[in-house]
Amino acid sequence: MLWEKQQKLFPLSKNATKEYIFTVKWGIKTETGDSEGKIIKECGKYPKKVDIVNALSEFCGNIEQFPHKYSSVKINGQRAHKLARKNMKFQLKKRQIKVNNFTLINNISEKLASFFVDCSAGTYVRSLAESLGESLGTLATVVELRRIGFNNFNKKLISLDYLLSLVHSDELKRLVHPIDAVMNNVLKIQLDYNQVKRVLSGSFVQMDKQSVITNKNNVVLAKHEDNYIALGLIKDCTFHPKKLLIS
């Protein structure tokens, strides 16, 4: 949850890596890829533990994935899940994703297995589970899914209800992190006082080559001392502000 001006940085936080624990049920396929959807296919093949473990390596690293048709991906301005519920036909494009870690946690039973996955933003766990099932010659549906990590945050994440219960408590201060906690994967540059004035007037700023890591078009956060000033792009050692973070 981001407060006040930090909300302007939300698009960057969406690019953070995410960690999930999920449980798959073998032998069934639903419309939505999870237990809420109608079962559309069934089979009686259930993979062995050794085969599951061996198959996981196929899905690690940089891979391509089709988003699930019951997803929030937009097709001509409309969410895919809305089109799917209207039984409208549409084609989703493959996306490049990265799976850093994909591990079998527990082979619970013949029909159930739980997994841990550390993946890039934009990864659809339901699609990942279905593809794993196909690789094993069976069907798969996610019956339980829980996100336990976000960027450098871990399973100590708290619920919204618990957060609201701490509104008047000193405990809340301990749980609130500075925005740097979710921006550690974003390139940052330091501006001096005169450069800040130029940025606030909407002008671009010429940067010293030593102050930027790359000359490519990269989204960066410009700071003055400990304060965020603007979000922008670096192009040919020039900072082009796109969104002011102070007034």
Q: All domains of the chain, ordered by start, with CATH? A: 17-150 (3.30.2350.10), 186-244 (2.30.130.10)
Q: Render pLDDT for 90-125 as a digit per residue (tens, 0 to 9).
A: 889 999 999 999 999 999 999 999 999 999 888 999
Predicted local distance difference test score (pLDDT) of residue 186:
72
- Collapse the DSSP code of 166 into the 3-class scheme (helix H, G, I; strand E, B; otherwise coil) and give the result: coil
What DSSP state is assigned to residue 57?
G
Predicted local distance difference test score (pLDDT) of residue 166:
76
φ/ψ of residue 196, rounded to 5:
-60, -40
Higher model confidence: residue 212 or residue 217? Answer: 212
Predicted local distance difference test score (pLDDT) of residue 247:
65
Q: Render pLDDT for 45-89 as a digit per residue (tens, 0 to 9).
A: 999 999 999 999 999 999 999 999 999 899 888 999 999 999 999
**pLDDT over 70 percentage in the chain:** 81
Does 242 have pLDDT greater than 70?
Answer: yes
Predicted confidence band of residue 215 (pLDDT cuts 50, 70, 90): very low
Does 13 have pLDDT greater than 80?
Answer: no
d(CA 95, CA 123): 9
pTM comes to 0.69
Find which of 4-13, 83-92, 137-146, 181-190 is predicted with most confidence, using mean pLDDT.
Answer: 137-146
Poorest-pLDDT segment among 70-74, 137-141, 147-151, 153-157: 153-157
d(CA 124, CA 84): 16
Tally of CB atoms within 10 A around 175:
13
